[in-house]
Structure 1
Amino acid sequence: MNSSNMVPEHSQILVIGGGPAGSSVATLLSKHGFNVTLLEKEIFPRYHIGESLLPSALKIFDLLGVREKVENYGFVKKEGAYVKWGKDNWTVDFNALGENKTYSFQVRRAEFDHLLLDHSSSVGVNVVQGIIVEKVKFTNERATSLVWQNSKDSSKKGEISFDYLIDASGRSGIIATKHNKDRKIHEDFQNVAAWGYWENVNVPDNFPKGAIATTATSKGWFWSIPVKEKTMSIGIVLHKDEFKRNNLELKEFYLKRIKEDSFTGEITKNGTFCGEVKVEQDYSYSAKDFCGPGYFICGDAACFIDPLLSSGVHLGMFSALMCAASLTSILKGEATEAEGMSYYQKCYKKAYLRMMVFVSSFYNQYEGMESQFWKAKKMINSNIDQHDIKYAFTSLIAGLEDLNDVESKVDNVVYQEMLKKVKQKTENAKIFANTQENKESDTVVSDPDGGFFAQKIEGYFAFDKEEAIEGFYISTEGGVKLSRV
C-alpha cells in the first residue's frame, strides 16, 4: 500500500479511520465505482486490542472480496468457544450452525487491519496514512469538509471537502465527541480490562480448534485467545472498583490473578509471560445519533459494548455493510437521504441493543447454563425448534443473526422502550464481578427484574418478517445496497 498518497481537495466520499469498519466501508463503496478517500492517523501496521472474530465475518469477507487473502494469511482458525460461567461450563461448536463448515479466525489485529487496509487500496480507495483530522466543518448544519494535518510534519496541512463523510475513527469518535458531544459512557458497564501475551500455553485437548475460552471468576472474567500455536492473549475484566481496591503494581496484580484462577492458572503454569500488561477502561459507550446530514458514524466511533462476546470487530464490519448499502442507494437515487439514514440508524441500533442486552444477561446470570441458553433463544428472531436452545445461543454468539435480519427483511422496531428496559435491567442488577463481598463466588442472587427476558425480549423480536425497516432490506447481488419491499 502506498502511504505517501496525497490528500485531494475534494472526495465524493471521505472515510476517517483505517480500522475494520473504515477499510470495509471504503472497499464496499469503491467496488461500486464511487470516488473514496480514506485518512488514517497511524502508519500501518499498528497495535490494536482485540483478536477474536465471529463467523459472521466470513460473509463480509466474501462481499469485500478479501476472503482468500484472509484464509491464506495464516491466522489461527477458530471453530468454537469454551465458556465457564458460574457453576456451569460448556463448549460452543460453530459447526453446529449448519451443514457447511462454519468457523472464524483469531487474528493479530495489527496484521489483520493492515491486510484489510491494503485490500482497500487494491480496489481503488485512495488511502492516505499519517493524517490527523483536526476538525470537521459544517455548513448549515451539514458536514461539508475537514481540516487535516500530517502527523509527522505539521507544516503539511490543508482542507478537504466531500459529498459524504464516514467517521470510523474508533474510540476517538471525532463527530460524536467533538461536534455532537452526545457520547455517553454506560455506567452499568464500568469495567477495566488488563491483558498480555503468553507463550507455551497448555491448550486443553477437548477444545474446538482455535477456540476462545471465556471463564468467569468470583470477581470478574478472563479471556484466553490463541493467536498462534502455543501463544495466547490472556486478559482479565474486572469492575473498576476491584482495581481501585488493589494496592499492587499492575503487572504484579495481573499475574497474581492469573495464577489464582483455576483455568488460566492451569493453562499458564508452564507458560512464559511476554512483554507488558496493557490496560483499557470505560470502553462501553454509545453516541445518541449514528448519522446526520452529510455523515455516517461506523464501528467504535458510534458505539462499543463490553468485550465479553467478541462483538467489537463484528459490529464494526456489520455497520460498514449497513452504511455502504445505505449510502450506495442514496447516491444512486434509489433511496432518499432521510430514508437511507433512518434505515442505518435503526438497523445498527438493533444489532447493538441485542448484544448489549445479552451481555447484560450474562453479567446477571443467576439461573444456570440452560436458562442462559433460553434467554439467548428469546433474544433472536428464529424459526429454530423451541427445544434446540443451544443452536440459538451459538447463532447469537456467532453474530450470524444480524446478517440474517438484514437479508430476510427485518422489522420496524420501536427502540425507546428497549433502551429504557435495558437501562432498568442493568441499573437494578448487580454486576457479576461485584455480587456481594460477604458471600462466596457461587452465591445465587435473586434477579430483581426476573420477568424482563421472558416478557420483553421475546416480544421485541416477535415481528412479521415481511415488515422491513423503513420499507428496505439489504440486497447483496451486484454489490451491497438497499432494496425496497
Structure 2
Amino acid sequence: MPKVIVIGGGPGGSTAAALLAQSGVPVKVLERAEFPRYHIGESITTSCRAILDYVGALDKINSCGFTSKTGVLMRWGQEKDWVIDWTAQFGTDVRSWQVDREDFDTVLLDHAGESGAEVVQNAQVKRVIFDGDRAVGVEWQPAGGELRVETADYVIDASGRAGLIAAQHFNHRRPHEIFRNVAIWGYWENAELLPGSPSGGINVISSPDGWYWLIPLRGNRFSVGFVTHKTNFVERRREFDSPEAMLKAMMAESPTMKQVLANATYQPGVHVEQDFSYAADDFCGNGYFLVGDAACFLDPLLSTGVHLAMYSGMLSAASILALNRGEVNEQEAQAFFESLYRNAYHRLFTLVISFYQQHAGKDRYFALADTLSRAREDGTKSPDLAFGEIIAGLTDLREAADRAGQGAQPIKEVIDAAATGGVKPVQELLSAAEQARLRAEDAAPNQRVTMAPMYIDANDLYDAASGLYLVTEPRLGISRASSDETVTAG
C-alpha cells in the first residue's frame, strides 16, 4: 500500500484521510492547530451530507444538533425575495446544516482517526519535499519537538490558504481582482429570519456596496456578516474607532438588517477576514494533490467552501486508490482530479461572478445555471432546478459519476461560445470597467490576473473521450466507460 501524508485536518483533509484509511492505506494527518478551533464557513451545502454518509460520519454530525438547513432566501438587487428550497425541489432528504465549525471539523478529524488514520495535532509542516518535480515527503515539527523529515508516496496538501505547494513551493496561485473582498462579522442572539425563508435557511441580502448574510445556528444564535470590496472597506474603516463600531454601523445602514436584528442581542466579538479569491495553475502533479483552499478559494456568496473541500478530498482519495489498484496510470489520475475539481470551481465561479452584477435578475442567474449543467438522466432540465442543484453541490457529484465522462463539457460549451463570438454569459455580466481592465491585462500578460473561466486552457477540461468517471461502489476509485457507453456531448 502507498503511504500518504495529509497536510491539514479540515473537512477536505479529514475526508481524504478517512476514505484512504478505510481502504487500508497508511495515512498520517498533520494538523497545525489543536481542535476544536474556531473557523468561519458555517453554512453547509447538501452535497456534504451525501459525502458524510459515504464516509460514515453522517450519524455523528446528525447527533450534534446543528440547525437543519433546507435552502436559501435571497433579497437581491431590485427584485422581491426569491427562495430556493431544496426539499421542495428534490425531496425531504436533500438538506444540510448550519454548523459551528469548531464542532463540525472536530467530528470529521476524530472520524478520520477512528477510521485508521494517524492524526497529529499541533504539527507545523514547514515545507513539502520534492525530488525533481515529484513530492516525496514533508518537513515538519511537533509542538516542542525537533524538526523531522518524513517520506511518503503521495502528499495531499489540504493546508488551506497557507497553500504549502501552490503558494509557497511553486508560487503559482493567481488572485482574482474582481473578488478582492473583505468580510466583517459577529454573532447575535434571537435574530429573525426573513418571512418566507426555507426552514433553517440562510438569508443573503444585497446592498449597493456588497451583501449581508444571516445564518441561524444552534441555540437561537445567528452568524451575521457583511462583505464588501477591499477598497470600500478600507475607506469606511477610517470612520470608526473599532471594528465593533463598524460592524454595528453596517447593520444599521441596511433596513433589512435592522428588521431582522430589531429584537436581537449582540454578542461581543468581531471577526474580519480578507476573501482574496484565487486559483492555482495546477491542482495536482506528480505525487501530490491540492485539496480545498490549498488549490482555490471562491468568494463565500454561495457557501461553497466546505463542498469544494470535501468533494476534492474524495476525488484525491479516489485517485490514489485507483492508482494503487492499477485502474489508471498517473497521468490519467491527474487529469481526472484536475478536470473534475477545476470544473466544479469554474462552474461556481462563473455563477458567483454573475451575482455581482445585481441588476441582472434571477432569471439571468437561472439561465446561466441552466447553461452550466446538463440534463438529468430522466431528461429534466429547467433553470430553477439547475440553479438549486448547483448551489446544493449536487451537480458536481452527479456529473463526476457520469458513465459517459462528460462532467466538464457544459463548461467547455460556455467557453467555446465566448471564444467564437456566440453567447457570452461571463463577459456580458462584467462591467465596462472590468472588461477594460481585463483587456489591459491581456496587453501586459506578465501582469495579468487570471480570470479562470475566461482564460481556461482546453487542456484543463475533462476529456470526454477518455470515459473516466468516479465510482463509489463496490469501492471508491476511478473507472472508465466501455466504448459503447462513451457518447459525444451535445
Q: CA deviation at 1:398?
A: 0.9
Alignment of 1:377-388 (within 5 A): 377-383=370-376, 388=382
Partners of 2:370 and 2:381 within 8 A in 1:
no
Q: Taking structure 1 as reference, are residues 163 and 387 closer, same or farther at Cα in structure 2, changes over 3 Å only?
A: closer
Structure 1: unaligned runs, 5 residues or longer: 1-9, 432-455
- Percent identical across equivalent pairs? 38
Equivalent-residue separation in structure 2 for 1:105 and 1:240 (angstroms): 30
Contact (CA 8 Å) 2:357, 2:430: kept in 1 or not?
no
**2:296: which partner in 1?**
303
Taking the aligned partners of 1:422 and 1:469, their CA distance within structure 2 comes to: 26
Structure 1 45/90 Cα, relative in aligned 2: closer, same or farther at 3 Å? same
Report deviation, 1:369. Answer: 2.2
Q: Which residue of 2 aligns with 1:287?
A: 280
TM-score after normalising by structure 1: 0.86
Partner of residue 383, structure 2: 389
Spell out the pairing of 1:99-110 with structure 2 (5 A cutoff): 99-110=91-102
- Following superposition, the deviation at residue 218 of structure 1 comes to 1.3
Q: Quickly say closer, same or farther: Cα 1:361–1:142, change in 2 above 3 A.
A: same
**TM-score between the two structures when normalised by the length of structure 2:** 0.85
Matches within 5 A, 1:398-477: 398-409=392-403, 410-411=405-406, 413=409, 417=415, 428=431, 468=464, 470-477=466-473
Distance in structure 1 (CA, Å) of the matches to 2:202 and 2:353: 20
SS at structure 2 position matched to 1:229: helix
Taking only aligned residues, the RMSD between alpha carbons, in angstroms, comes to: 2.5
Q: C-alpha displacement at 1:265, in angstroms? A: 1.2
Q: Which residue of 1 aligns with 2:476?
A: 480
1:255 counterpart letter in structure 2: K
Q: Give secondary structure in 2 for the equivalent of 1:187.
A: strand
Q: Which of 120, 124, 136 is 1:132 aligned to?
A: 124
Worse-matched range after superposition: 106-115 or 258-267: 258-267
Is the Cα contact below 8 Å between 1:96 and 1:391 reproduced in 2? no
Structure 1 Cα separation of the partners of residues 351 and 146 of structure 2 = 47
Instruction: Note if contact 2:275-2:299 (Cα within 8 Å) is conserved in structure 1.
Output: no
CA deviation map 1:192-226 (0-9, x unaligned): 11111111212345322111000001111001111
Following TM superposition, where does structure 1 have runs of at least 4 consecutive aligned residues deviating by more than 4 angstroms?
383-387, 412-431
> Which residue pairs with 1:64 in the alignment?
55
CA deviations over 1:166-207 (Å, ceiling 9, x no partner)? 000001010011111101111111111111111121234532
| Secondary structure of residue in 1 paired with 2:192 | coil
Equivalent position amino acid for 2:265 in 1? T
Alignment partner of 1:195 is 2:185: yes
Aligned partners of 1:260 and 1:430: how far apart in 2? 27
Where do 1:156-195 residues align within 5 Å?
Answer: 156-195=146-185
**Counterparts of 2:339 and 2:19, CA distance in 1:** 21
Q: Kindly provide the CA deviation profile for residues 278-316 of structure 1, in whole angstroms up to 9, marking residues without a partner as x.
A: 111143111100111111110000001100000100000
Against the structure 1 CA distance between its residues 148 and 386, is the aligned structure 2 distance closer, same or farther, given a 3 Å change threshold?
closer
Deviates most, 12-21 or 387-396: 387-396
Structure 1 pair 430–47 and aligned structure 2 pair: CA distance change class (3 A): farther
Q: Is the Cα–Cα contact under 8 Å of residues 395 and 401 in structure 1 kept in the other structure?
A: yes
Which of 330, 343, 347 is 2:323 aligned to?
330
**Deviation of residue 469 (structure 1)?**
6.8
| C-alpha separation in 2, matches of 1:31 and 1:387 | 37
* CA–CA distance in structure 2, aligned partners of residues 470 and 347 of structure 1: 13
Corresponding residue for residue 4 of structure 2:
13
CA contact (8 A) 2:353 2:426 kept: no
SS at match of 1:366: helix
Report what 2:438 is aligned to. none
C-alpha spacing 1:429/1:282, structure 2 compared with 1 (3 Å): farther
2:343 to 320, 342, 350: 350
Matched, 1:237 2:227: yes
The answer to whether structure 1 residue 27 and structure 2 residue 18 are counterparts is yes
1:277 aligns with 2:270: yes
Give the distance between the partners of 1:163 and 1:472, measured in 2 at CA: 23
Structure 2 alignment gaps of length 5 or more: 435-453, 482-490
Which residue identity does 1:128 align to in structure 2? V
> Structure 2 vs 1, CA of residues 479 and 265 (structure 1 numbering), >3 Å: closer, same or farther?
farther
* SS of the residue 1:111 aligns to: helix
State the alpha-carbon separation in 1 of the partners of residues 252 and 211 from structure 2.
14
Partners in 1 of 2:415 and 2:84 — Cα distance? 31
| Shift in CA distance, 429/332, structure 1 to aligned 2, threshold 3 Å | farther
Secondary structure at 2:360 match in 1 = coil
